[in-house]
Amino acid sequence: MRTEAEAAGPPLEPGDFVQLPVPVIQQLYHWDCGLACSRMVLRYLGQLDDSEFERALQKLQLTRSIWTIDLAYLMHHFGVRHRFCTQTLGVDKGYKNQSFYRKHFDTEETRVNQLFAQAKACKVLVEKWNVQHQHQ
């Protein structure tokens, strides 16, 4: 049996790249880029069933306001091993005046911050991280 490191092949060097056959799924609306990306990942992993995906959206109460933390919960729902790295553990107040977020920012702020607060208990891996941070 091969370890994950052995299965991955030789370590990548700076400038190397890996091209994966991820299918392209077009977003349906101006607001669902994250859901389209999630569908692409799930289809690549062989886990996308459209009706199951729709049921997951309903279960997680994902509507027109999708934040990245929502996508982390969605990936967890489907058993996709991942780590959500973010500069802000909670809502970034800088989005408050952007037109896309402005209308529902205050109610969404509470919901999104609650998802961050519950992430560890829900086994959704969230880590504060930025490009200067070197993960150990």
pTM (two decimals)? 0.78
Going by pLDDT thresholds of 50, 70 and 90, the confidence category of residue 3 is very low
Comparing 43 with 30, the larger pLDDT belongs to 43
Distance CA 65, CA 105 (A): 10
Is pLDDT above 60 for 136? no
Question: How do residues 85-129 score in pLDDT, each as one tens digit?
Answer: 998 888 887 777 776 676 678 788 888 999 999 999 999 999 988
Question: How do residues 31-78 score in pLDDT, each as one tens digit?
Answer: 889 999 999 999 999 988 889 999 999 999 998 788 999 999 999 999
pLDDT at 88: 85
Q: What is the mean pLDDT of residues 15-40?
A: 89
Is pLDDT above 60 for 135? no
Boundaries of every domain in the chain: 30-126
Distance CA 109, CA 113 (A): 6
Q: What SS3 state is found at 84?
A: strand
119 C-beta neighbours (distance < 10 Å), count:
19
For residue 34, CA distances in Å to 10, 57, 85, 135 come to: 31, 12, 15, 25
Distance CA 45, CA 80 (A): 9
pLDDT at 134: 54
Q: Which residues pair with 19 in a beta bridge?
A: none
